[in-house]
Structure 1
Amino acid sequence: MFEIRIICDPADTDRVNATLSEAFTTGPVRQHPARDGQRTRLYVTADHRPEPEPCPAPEEAYALAPSIISEIGWTARTAADRPFYDESDRDFWLRKAALLDRIALSDEADGSTRDATDLATRAAQRLMELDDAAVICDPRHYVRQQYAHWAKNQ
């Protein structure tokens, strides 16, 4: 943990606070007038953001997953049983994204360039939107990480 002091124009304080919050885990910002009376002093306690967890390899992420055929059946039944299903159903989107990722991995291993990779990426992005994930990583890696956590807790 460390303390940051910034002297800036009062019009820039919101932008400076937002930038610091993006770069660090920050505490409340204390604001005082600068000695010159025209600028503002900002004091903030900050810490480095924790390193993101490494992405598990597909074999590790999907070690506890049912067969692809079984997951296709579950996904189809779940979608059919809920004509007005809640789009925020995280389990559905996680399992669907993981299923599409597994299909895309199989295609990629065979050297195929079908739509599976694009569909897997779009489903992964939907899951990240649903989770409001503030991480910058490959969306399919995010799915693998989240699926591994989910599968261990089932």
Structure 2
Amino acid sequence: MFEIRIICDPHEADSITHTLAEAFTTGPVRQHATRDGKRTRLYVTADHRPKPEPWPTPDEAYALAPSIIREIGWTARAAAEKPFGTRLPRDFWLRKAAVLDRIALKDEADGFTGDAADVATVAAQRLMDLDDVGVICDPRHYVRQQYAQWAKNQ
């Protein structure tokens, strides 16, 4: 952990703070005027971001997954059991995104060029939106990572 001190024009403070938060894990930013009152001093405690874990391969992510047919049945039943307009739990969106990813992977392996990959990506993005993910990555890789963690804890 380390402390950063920056002296800047007041109108640059928000931009600098945002840029630091993207590069490091930061604490609260303390702002003070300089002695002459014309510039701003920013003080922030920062630390290096941990290295991200590698994305699991599809085989690793879905090693414990039930068959595609069984997962389609589960998602259909889970959606049908909830009254229209009821919010479905995260597990539903995760399992739906995962089964669509698995279908797309099978199509890709078979050389079939349908819209399965697009549908899987949309479902994966829905999960990322639900999780309010602050990272930019391939949505389908995110689903695999989340499914592998979820399956390990089931």
Question: For residues 119-134 of structure 1, what are the structure 2 equivalents within 5 Å?
Answer: 119-134=119-134
Equivalent position of 2:94 in the other structure: 94
Superimposed CA distance per residue, residues 68-121 of structure 1 (whole angstroms, 9 cap, x where no aligned partner): 010011111111111326445100000000000000000000011111100000
Q: Given the alignment of the two structures, is residue 135 of structure 1 paired with residue 135 of structure 2, yes or no?
A: yes
- SS in structure 2 opposite 1:107? helix
Q: Do the aligned partners of 1:33 and 1:39 also contact (CA within 8 Å) in 2? A: yes
Whole-angstrom CA distance in 2 between matches of 1:62 and 1:12: 46
Q: Compare 115-124 and 80-89 and name the one that shifted more.
A: 80-89
Equivalent position of 1:146 in the other structure: 146
Equivalent position of 1:8 in the other structure: 8
Tell me, which stretches of 5 or more residues in structure 2 are unaligned?
none
- SS in structure 2 opposite 1:26? strand
Equivalent position of 1:17 in the other structure: 17
Whole-angstrom CA distance in 2 between matches of 1:86 and 1:152: 28
Q: Compare 138-147 and 1-10 and name the one that shifted more.
A: 1-10
Identity of aligned residues (%): 77
Tell me, which stretches of 5 or more residues in structure 1 are unaligned?
none
Whole-angstrom CA distance in 2 between matches of 1:106 and 1:149: 22
Q: Do the aligned partners of 1:2 and 1:46 also contact (CA within 8 Å) in 2? A: yes
- SS in structure 1 opposite 2:14? helix
Whole-angstrom CA distance in 1 between matches of 2:84 and 2:151: 26
- How many aligned positions are there? 154
AA in 1 matched with 2:50 = P
Whole-angstrom CA distance in 2 between matches of 1:85 and 1:94: 19
Whole-angstrom CA distance in 2 between matches of 1:43 and 1:130: 33
Q: Do the aligned partners of 1:88 and 1:130 also contact (CA within 8 Å) in 2? A: no
Q: Do the aligned partners of 2:27 and 2:46 also contact (CA within 8 Å) in 1? A: yes
Equivalent position of 2:53 in the other structure: 53
Q: TM-score, normalised by structure 2?
A: 0.93
Q: Compare 51-60 and 61-70 and name the one that shifted more.
A: 51-60
